[in-house]
Structure 1
Amino acid sequence: MSASRRFTPPLSCLTAFEAVARHGSVTDAARELDLTQSAVSRQIQKLESQVGGLLFERDRKRLHVTAQGETYAREIRMALAQIQNATIALQTNPDGGVLNLASLPSIGTHWLAPRLPAFLRAHPGITLNMSTRFVPVDFSEETAHAAIQHGQGDWPRVGTMKLWDEQMLAVAAPDLLQTGDAATLPRLQLETRPQAWADWFAAQGLPEPGRPAMVVDQFGTMLRAAQAGLGLALMPDYLVAQEIGNGSLLALPGAKPVSIGAYYLVWPENAGEYPALVAFRDWLRMASATRFMP
């Protein structure tokens, strides 16, 4: 056996191992894989023999993955996801490629979607599938090739390309702004940004007043609520540029924009050269540089 083959266990052993590690049960793994329990057990034994160590601790009918096994399972899960993605891409679009993209709802709906026709015209062979996520994507658990996320760019085990720093503006409907200031106006709070107002008030050198009047789960909802006069909203500049331009929202006079993170395109490490992803990444780099243009 060559050195490369010696370190490449059979796919059947790896799929059995990943399923047992995830379920903690040979029975459940066998049911998922449509195999007998003895067949799954043999695959695990064969894999442990090849890697030269125990991957599970046996406790009656349950199996508990070891610390080393947990690390190995995470790596194998990512590799199996890549194989699945490659197979789907080959079956559904052999001449181009499939790009499964996860995105935050706000940037996906309000910024990215209107610009995607330009990308698809430039790359007619690529099929783009989009889904929304509120939290960072775990590429070992999902079939996404890439994701657009907000944060500090410090996620583990991913490649990253910074798009832009998020600049947060305090905005409100014109009529509401005439009735008070940041300390007295009702405020709208994004559910996933509980510290946003505290950071904003700190940047202004002001103490934070009481709790926000309303908590919402998406920037799109917050945008409409602010236009309806329900409160002062802390919004990314790219999301309210049009509304400020047409006068339906106004920025709070004298307030400083605050940056509390940035937007990034991320992808699984060691999977950055997938052709459809390369094409999208190159296009997104140019599009993000002119993000306020239609």
Structure 2
Amino acid sequence: MIAPRRFLPSIPSLLALEAVDRLGSASAAAEELSLTQSAISRQLKTMEEQLGIDLIQRSQMRLHLTPAAKEYVQVARTVLHQLAQASVKLKANPKGGSLNLSILPAFGMHWLAPRLQDFARRHPEVTVNLNTRLRPFDFEVEHFDAAIHFGQRDWRGVNYLPIMREDVVPVCSPSILPERADRIDWLLSTPLLHLETRPDAWERWFAFQGKEVSGLGGMLFDQFSTMGQATVHGLGVALLPSYLVKDDLRSGRLVPAWHGPGVSLGDFYLVWPQSRAESEPLKSFVEWLRGQVG
């Protein structure tokens, strides 16, 4: 049940309070909201009278929110953001049924995107909106319904659907592969390329090969796509997922830098919050994805 209406301020009042908190003056808030300064003052006064408390500390130069109002406006800002996102979803899909999905760039492009046409054919009532996030986030703050997660089951408060294990292989350009690459030590004398979100990947890979190393430096990349291109152009050796490099290995643009045992550094999962009821679009997507990975 929604709280009594007397506790629900108007959206113009909330927008005025949020803008004053962020900008520090009624004039700046008025300019941003295309209102007059007196209109901003009236909105704030109306909210104070409605709630029966002072929200603003007025000084000669600036307006400051009271400590209690500061805490209140943080909640209001989140609600306004969620309402705006809901309006965007409604406009984009007036018949309902949208799913906001956070993806990892390489996995989303090379594994998920080619399969989404099948989901669209089976569920034309659902619009899937994709956005990139590289690390776990708070579902209570972000507007996503679900996310693709890589690694371990270390994202708290979510349900997990395993998708696939990721195997990584060390690859390089043929131009930097030595004639005698039969000793793993040659990798320690050549530039190693690293991914920001997996800073210890090389150390873990060497450990799987029975060799303990630490403090490995080298170029740092935020995405596999740029790291892959750097590898093709001979800037170093990279640990890349096997599903990403199979075409480059087949064409000879890349070659294996070592023929040791295959290594997995984690798994891909679909995750979604346990704290929310599952929407119909999410249920349809989970059921479809189970079929894809079955």
**Does the alignment reach a TM-score above 0.5?**
yes
Structure 1: gaps of 5 or more residues:
none
Distance 1:237 1:51, change over 3 A: farther
> What is the aligned length?
285
1:279 aligns with 284
Give the aligned partner of residue 169 of structure 1.
Answer: 168
Distance 1:120 1:30, change over 3 A: same
In 2, distance between residues paired with 1:103 and 1:109? 9
Structure 1 residue 114: Cα displacement:
0.9
**TM superposition score normalised by structure 1:** 0.72
Render the CA deviation track for 1:31-51: whole Å, top value 9, x for unaligned: 222222232233334334545
How far did 1:190 drift?
1.9
Alignment of 1:106-255 (within 5 A): 106-134=106-134, 146-150=146-150, 161=160, 163=162, 167=166, 169-173=168-172, 175=174, 176=177, 178-179=180-181, 181=184, 182-201=187-206, 204-208=210-214, 210-212=216-218, 214-227=219-232, 229-240=234-245, 249-250=255-256, 252-255=258-261
CA distance in 1, matches of 2:142, 2:25: 21
Deviation at 1:71, TM superposition (A): 4.3
Structure exhibiting the larger radius of gyration computed from Cα positions:
2
Q: Report the CA distance between 1:64 and its aligned residue.
A: 4.5
Q: Distance in 1 between matches of 2:6 and 2:74?
A: 21
* TM superposition score normalised by structure 2: 0.72
1:210-242 per-residue CA deviation (whole Å, 9 max, x = no partner) reads: 422x33332022234445554321234554466
- Structure 1: distance between partners of 2:154 and 2:25: 34
What code does the residue aligned with 1:114 have?
P
1:3-55, Cα deviation, whole Å (9 max, x unpaired): 53233332222232333333344333322222222322333343345455555
Aligned to 2:37: 37
Distance 1:124 1:168, change over 3 A: same
Contact 1:20 1:29 in 2 (8 A): yes
Structure 2 unaligned blocks of 5 or more:
none
CA distance in 1, matches of 2:166, 2:107: 13
> Per the alignment, do residues 280 and 261 of structure 1 end up closer, same or farther by CA in structure 2, a change over 3 Å counting?
closer
User: Does the 8 Å CA contact 2:228/2:238 hold for their aligned counterparts?
Assistant: yes
> Alpha carbon RMSD of aligned pairs, Å?
4.1
The match for 1:84 is: 84
